Structure 1
């Protein structure tokens, strides 16, 4: 299928694919980091917001929420889920808002959808420009040096008389700034079976490179990839949460 079919033609399956994600704990983690490091404001923007489940939790915490995504079918679902929020179709690597935000989030490793380092730099610059002083840019990221191409995540769920199996895995060739996120959907209904596969281009970089890109714009804090705890990154794991404060 085309590399973005999951987010357009197959967008109705996206929430099923993410059924095992603890959106509340992730959202609470960003809120807590904003309370600790941020300016305390309540204007929130979620980049690559998808169908809006994170925004749903921020709205419940009295944030004034906006969402940005490049795929309109995802935004249509998000607007129905969160009618009180504002949604815009656009590129997270080149965006501008008239009003600034206090917290910008980008969950589910979506920062990697920048594709290449030049575009990622545009995302960082756009986020910096869209934040108030003391605002926080919160996202999670994977270090290319520790990607294991043999690892994957998979889960199955029953829905409308069909069984869906979703699988995702990183793949990095070992050099360069490009990797792929390999996604597959297998749908079994009675005696029929359908399979869709998606190899989405993603930017690959290490944490040292990322810190160098962020440091001209932000005060950078790195934490272990544990949304339930606040643990400074121990420079061992290949997944981390970045909390970047506009100074």
Structure 2
């Protein structure tokens, strides 16, 4: 199955796959960070927005919110969820906006969808160009050196007379600039089980390398991956929230 085939074929199940994610909590936390460290403006864009749950919450928080993604079936669902928002089929590594923005978000580790370091650099430059003065770029990331290749996240859910089991896990070989997000979905209905397996190639960086890429464009602060509290990164954990305030070049 090709890199995005699973997401395309099962886009209708994406929200079910992510049903354990507290989108409201994440959105509220980043909105608070924007009040503290950003320019408090209300023009918002969500990169790799998927089916639009974060966009929905930012609209409810009073933002003029929009989203972009490379997957049209996802965007179709997002447009139904948020008919008042603007969505565009674009690659986040080279995107264009007509109006400058105050807040750009990229949740669920989607920053890693950049295909290599050069693409990640292009994404960072595109974000900087799209932001107003004092605008904020918020995203979460995983440090390639802290990845446990044996660790998996697993949850199950029932939907339309079927039971679904979802598994995901990072894998990094220890060398190079690419890592993988391995996904597995099992759907059981009437004692028959269908299975999908997919491996998404994603850019791998350490937090030190990522800070160096961001430094020419942003003042960077790193926080613990905790959407309940605003806590500085402990310098040890492998997941973190990057909060980047635009610096004029």
TM class by smaller structure: over 0.9
The match for 2:60 is 60
The match for 1:43 is 43
Matched residue of 1:8: which SS? helix
Shift of 1:2: 2.1
Residues 6, 13 of structure 1: 8 Å contact kept:
no
**Could you tell me how far apart the structure 2 residues matched to 1:142 and 1:37 are?**
22
Shift of 1:191: 2.3
**Could you tell me how far apart the structure 2 residues matched to 1:85 and 1:35 are?**
22
**Could you tell me how far apart the structure 1 residues matched to 2:56 and 2:6 are?**
21
The match for 1:12 is 12
Shift of 1:8: 1.1
**Could you tell me how far apart the structure 1 residues matched to 2:239 and 2:199 are?**
21
The match for 1:200 is 200
Matched residue of 2:118: which SS? helix
The match for 1:145 is 145
Matched residue of 1:136: which SS? strand
The match for 2:99 is 99
Shift of 1:10: 1.1
**Could you tell me how far apart the structure 2 residues matched to 1:79 and 1:206 are?**
35
Shift of 1:62: 1.0
The match for 1:3 is 3
Mind listing any 5+ residue stretches in structure 1 that lack a counterpart?
A: none
Give the 5 Å matches for 1:1-247.
1-247=1-247
**Could you tell me how far apart the structure 2 residues matched to 1:232 and 1:6 are?**
36
Mind listing any 5+ residue stretches in structure 2 that lack a counterpart?
A: none
Matched residue of 2:45: which SS? strand
Question: When the two structures are aligned, how many residues end up with a matched partner?
Answer: 247
Shift of 1:213: 0.4
Matched residue of 1:148: which SS? coil
Please, what TM-score do these two structures have when normalized by structure 1? 0.99
Residues 6, 14 of structure 1: 8 Å contact kept:
no
Please, what TM-score do these two structures have when normalized by structure 2? 0.98
